[in-house]
């Protein structure tokens, strides 16, 4: 049986790890941008998560003539008019540690009672022989009052998930993959791949 390879158009180690955890049990070999020669990341100038996901995946498909998946995800805070949104990774500067980003959010949230927020994930699949397909999902949370937990990455320590009574960073890998925006979107992707390969 031919090896099933999927290229994740990302250099984010945390994101790539989550894709590997979810797709490798299905028999996929997950590669990333660091595995490709001479790859240059495209400008993510889309106005939605879905548009940015397609831009990243298509840049791989067009250059290497292979199937690629890309996820664009981020944090929407209702009290901030759904910001930082598509700018989540670049918010306060791409190289600014998330510890500082999280602390800044908590400071800006002082005195605000509406702490509802969500993680949004859009996963695009592009290939030489098909139009882009996008799977999108969310994880509804609230902004915690203090960071908690050492698992996960990014904004996870301040993303409190009420049904579990803990932040995303306090969850085990399996707990997080079960309810996370990326976990739910990946399951839609997996279903599509199974139906296509059936």
**Which pairs from 16-25 meet CB under 8 Å and 24+ separation?**
18/177, 18/182, 18/183, 18/186, 19/69, 19/71, 19/186, 21/173, 21/177, 22/177, 22/183, 22/186, 22/187, 22/190, 23/186, 23/190
* Distance separating alpha carbons of residues 191 and 197, to the nearest angstrom: 10
* Distance separating alpha carbons of residues 71 and 186, to the nearest angstrom: 10
Active site residue 38: no
SS3 content of the chain, % helix, strand, coil (to 5): 40, 25, 35
* Distance separating alpha carbons of residues 158 and 168, to the nearest angstrom: 8
Among the listed residues 72, 78, 129, 174, the single catalytic one is 72
> Which residue is it, tokens 């490798």?
24
Q: Which residues contact 65 (CB under 8 A, 6 or more apart)?
A: 128
Catalytic residues: 72
């Amino acid at each position: 049986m031919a090896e099933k390879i999927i290229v994740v158009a990302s250099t984010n180690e945390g994101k790539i790890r989550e894709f590997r955890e979810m797709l490798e049990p299905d028999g996929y070999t997950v590669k990333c941008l660091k595995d490709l020669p001479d790859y240059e990341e495209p400008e993510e100038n889309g106005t939605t998560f879905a548009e940015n996901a397609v831009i990243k995946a298509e840049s791989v498909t067009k250059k290497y003539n292979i199937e690629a998946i890309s996820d664009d995800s981020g944090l929407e805070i209702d009290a901030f008019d759904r910001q930082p949104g598509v700018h989540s990774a670049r918010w306060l500067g791409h190289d600014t540690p998330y510890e500082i980003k999280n602390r800044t959010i908590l400071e800006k949230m002082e005195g605000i009672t509406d702490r509802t927020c969500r993680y949004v994930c859009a996963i695009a699949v592009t290939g030489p022989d098909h139009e882009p397909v996008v799977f999108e999902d969310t994880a509804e949370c609230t902004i915690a009052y203090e960071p908690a937990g050492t698992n996960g990455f990014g904004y996870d320590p301040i993303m409190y998930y009420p049904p579990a009574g803990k932040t995303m960073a306090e969850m085990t890998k399996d707990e997080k993959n079960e309810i996370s925006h990326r976990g739910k979107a990946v399951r839609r992707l997996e279903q599509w791949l199974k139906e296509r390969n059936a």
